[in-house]
């Protein structure tokens, strides 16, 4: 009986050592991990501002004709795709991790997300008449209450709308992926195929030239190797890329496999080429492993309930 007791005690001790084994991050890769999103000092975070921004994001009354909301373009959820209409799934153009781009706007003078949001809400669809819009939103009691919670008083202004929308968008973050867990010391977080794919990503395919840092994007503008496309496009994040339905900035490819083949071939032969876009000698297995690695960049599900929109 004593022998059995000591055997059980021994096994429990060994199990405890395994469970308590300290996870050791991989220092040279920690720069790829999504950690904390930084909110600028001129637009500090508070949860009430997030809720206000989310409400404004889904409210079509921000548009001149009151028929288009931010979510109308940045939310691909539809019954045909099998997604519930009450959730945000991969917005397109994607706002996932928009706060992690080094420069979120093409204009080199626009360095903050607020600059991008301000430009969009003053576009042809939104804020064509800011005075009229402010009057419209100010006439809604529910918004007065939301603005007071967010800012301490009920004043409604274009600037405050921009700040709230920006604060909300900074919360749309894909993180804690299998790759993140691996980098932070969870050795079994990646499969052997994904580890091989990470090697292909860095070396044979050289994806890392443009897809680097926590957002897997250098935030720079590059040509894409597509025939007939001369404009340069900002390097997109690769986080959650395998959840997408279409690929490239114009949605020309319908699968991740076609996209990988495009870049492995160095783009279309008649396209304007970026100096870094060159053919890569990838085997079929290399491509499969690369795609498996990209799957390891899928973060925790982003599911944000559509808020209750204040009634006029």
CATH architecture, range 178-297:
Orthogonal Bundle (1.10)
Q: Looking at domain 47-77+93-171, which CATH architecture does it have?
A: Orthogonal Bundle (1.10)
Domain 47-77+93-171 and domain 178-297 have a common topology: yes
The domain segmentation of the chain, as residue ranges, is 47-77+93-171, 178-297
> In this model, does residue 67 exceed pLDDT 60?
yes
Q: Is 222 annotated as a binding residue?
A: no
Which of 61, 63, 88 shows the shortest CA–CA distance to 75? Answer: 88
**Residue 252 or residue 23, greater confidence:** 252
20 is in an annotated binding site: no
Banded model confidence at residue 34, pLDDT cuts 50, 70, 90: confident
Summarised one tens digit per residue, pLDDT across range 214-223 is 999 998 889 9
Q: Is 199 exposed, middle or buried (0-12, 13-18, 19+ CB in 10 A)?
A: middle
Q: What is the DSSP letter of 204?
A: T
Please say whether the beta carbons of 207 and 285 come within 8 A: no
| pLDDT for 82 | 33
The answer to the question of whether 207 is labelled as a binding residue is yes
Over pLDDT 90: what percentage of the chain? 54
Asked if residue 122 belongs to a known ligand binding site, the reply is no
The more confidently predicted of residues 206 and 74 is 206
pLDDT averaged over every residue in the chain: 84
For residue range 258-267, list pLDDT tens digits in order.
999 999 999 9
Is the pLDDT assigned to residue 28 strictly greater than 70? yes
């Amino acid at each position: 009986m004593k022998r059995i007791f000591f055997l059980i005690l021994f096994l429990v001790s060994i199990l405890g050592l395994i469970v308590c084994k300290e996870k050791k991050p991989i220092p040279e890769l920690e720069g790829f991990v999504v950690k904390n999103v930084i909110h600028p000092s001129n637009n500090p975070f508070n949860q009430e501002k997030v809720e206000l921004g989310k409400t404004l994001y889904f409210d079509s009354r921000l548009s001149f004709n009151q028929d288009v909301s931010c979510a109308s373009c940045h939310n691909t959820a539809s019954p045909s795709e099998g997604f519930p209409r009450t959730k945000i799934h991969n917005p397109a153009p994607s706002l996932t991790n928009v706060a992690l781009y080094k420069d979120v706007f093409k204009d080199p003078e626009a360095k903050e997300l607020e600059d991008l949001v301000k430009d969009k809400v003053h576009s042809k669809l939104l804020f064509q008449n800011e005075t009229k819009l402010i009057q419209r939103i100010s006439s809604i009691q529910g918004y007065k209450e939301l603005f007071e919670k967010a800012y301490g008083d009920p004043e409604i202004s274009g600037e405050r709308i921009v700040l709230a929308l920006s604060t909300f968008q900074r919360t749309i973050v894909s993180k804690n992926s299998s790759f993140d867990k691996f980098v932070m010391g969870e050795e079994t977080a990646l499969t052997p195929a994904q580890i091989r794919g990470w090697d292909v990503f860095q070396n044979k395919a050289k994806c890392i030239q443009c897809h680097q840092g926590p957002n897997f994007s250098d935030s720079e503008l590059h040509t894409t190797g597509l025939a007939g496309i001369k404009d340069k496009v900002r390097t997109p994040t690769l986080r959650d890329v395998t959840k997408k339905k279409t690929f490239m900035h114009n949605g020309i490819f319908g699968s991740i496999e076609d996209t990988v083949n495009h870049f492995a071939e160095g783009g279309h032969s008649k396209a304007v080429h970026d100096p870094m876009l060159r053919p890569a000698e990838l085997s079929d297995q290399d491509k499969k492993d690369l795609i498996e690695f990209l799957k390891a960049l899928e973060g925790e599900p982003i599911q944000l309930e559509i808020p209750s929109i204040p009634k006029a």
